[in-house]
Every structure is written in C-alpha cells, then in structure tokens.
C-alpha cells in the first residue's frame, strides 16, 4: 500500500517538474519571438513588461507599458482593469531590490503620484529595473517641463532671515502689520 502511494507521489512530482520546465521553455521562446518581431502591445510604447514572479518569469496577468506621455497598467484575466497615469503627475520614482530580486535580475519601482485613481503605486518585479527607473525619471522630467508643472521645492523662493515660505514672520504677523 505504501509503495503504491510512493509511486503515485513520484509520478506526480515528475509531472510537476516536467510541466515547470516546459512552462519555462515556452516562456523564454515566447519572449524571444516577441522581441525579434518588435511587436508592442501599445502602439507608441517606449517600454513594456509584465509583472514577474519571484523567479523572474512573466507568469502574471499584470502588464505595464510606457509611452512619451502616459504610464499604462492592465491587471486581471477574467475581470480586467485598465488604468493610466499622465507622467507629469508623478513626483518620485524609487527603485527597491531585495536580494532575491537581485539574483533573478528584477526589481520593483515605487511611484509617488498625484493621480486621483491610482495614487502611489508599485511596478512590481520588472526586468532591467535600473534602466527603467532612469527612463521613467527622464520622461517624467520632460513631461513636467512640457506641461509647466513645478513643485514648491523646484521654485526656489528667496529666503529672508526671519520669514517663512508663507510670507509671514516667525511671530505670525506679516511684515507690513508690525508696529515698530
């Protein structure tokens, strides 16, 4: 009885290993074919990728794309959500790479944005994450300049010694209202 169970478990394990290896081979072949054909999911996209698992394989239904003005996020299989963020709404890009992500050549970008629907979000487990971070930073700055979007830190207020940025002194009174 135990020998039969052992044989069945061995067959199941062998089938799982074969399925895993086959999935890896098919994924690599598909990615290679797509790269060679130059086919893009989005018409004008500069960069595209999928969320990857911890082995770096694109076995996910989350897709990312970037064009010169927007970032696109597509999530789901049966119920799919399509979202986009204009690049000038993004304020910060941070790259996070764990030891496992470094080993498999992937990384996660943390994006801070002022977009109402997405807010701050993650672009999880992407290939060439350092290059993608630099691409995002460059395109975000281009779009912020083109749309004349500036943050307070970029404006550069001249500072008076006893003035805050709101125009009031440290005592809460406007300089014109003080009795000298």
Convert the pLDDT of each residue in 80-92 to its tens digit.
999 999 999 999 9
Helix or strand or coil: residue 133?
helix
pLDDT, tens digit (0-9, with 9 covering 90-100), for 94-148:
999 999 999 999 999 999 999 998 999 999 999 999 999 999 999 999 999 999 8
| pLDDT band for position 33 (cuts 50, 70, 90) | low
- Residue ranges per structural domain of the chain: 1-39, 41-150
Q: Which two tokens stand for residue 159?
A: 């500072």
Helices (H), the chain: 2-37, 99-104, 129-146, 152-155
- At residue 102, the pLDDT reads 93
CATH 3.20.20.70 at 41-150, yes or no:
no
Q: Which residues contact 114 (CB under 8 A, 6 or more apart)?
A: 89, 91
| Per-position b or e across 123-159, b if 16+ CB within 10 A of its CB | bbbbbebeebbeebeebbeebbeeeebeeeeeeeeee
pTM of the predicted model as reported, rounded to 2 decimal places: 0.63
Three-state DSSP class for residue 59: coil
């Amino acid at each position: 009885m135990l020998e039969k169970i052992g044989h069945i478990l061995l067959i199941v394990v062998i089938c799982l290993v074969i399925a895993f290896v086959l999935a890896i081979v098919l994924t690599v072949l598909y990615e290679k074919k797509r790269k060679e054909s130059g086919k893009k999911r989005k018409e004008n996209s500069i960069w595209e990728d999928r969320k990857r698992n911890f082995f770096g394989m694109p076995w996910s239904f989350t897709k990312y794309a970037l064009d010169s003005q927007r970032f696109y996020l597509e999530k789901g299989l049966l119920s799919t959500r399509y979202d986009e963020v204009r690049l000038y709404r993004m304020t910060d890009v941070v790259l996070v790479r764990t030891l496992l992500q470094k080993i498999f050549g992937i990384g996660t970008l943390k994006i801070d944005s002022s977009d109402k629907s997405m807010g701050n979000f993650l672009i999880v487990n992407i290939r060439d994450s350092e290059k993608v971070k630099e691409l995002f930073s460059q395109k975000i700055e281009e779009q912020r300049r083109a749309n004349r979007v500036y943050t307070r830190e970029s404006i550069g207020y001249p500072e008076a010694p006893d003035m805050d940025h709101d125009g009031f002194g440290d005592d809460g009174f406007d300089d014109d209202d003080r009795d000298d």
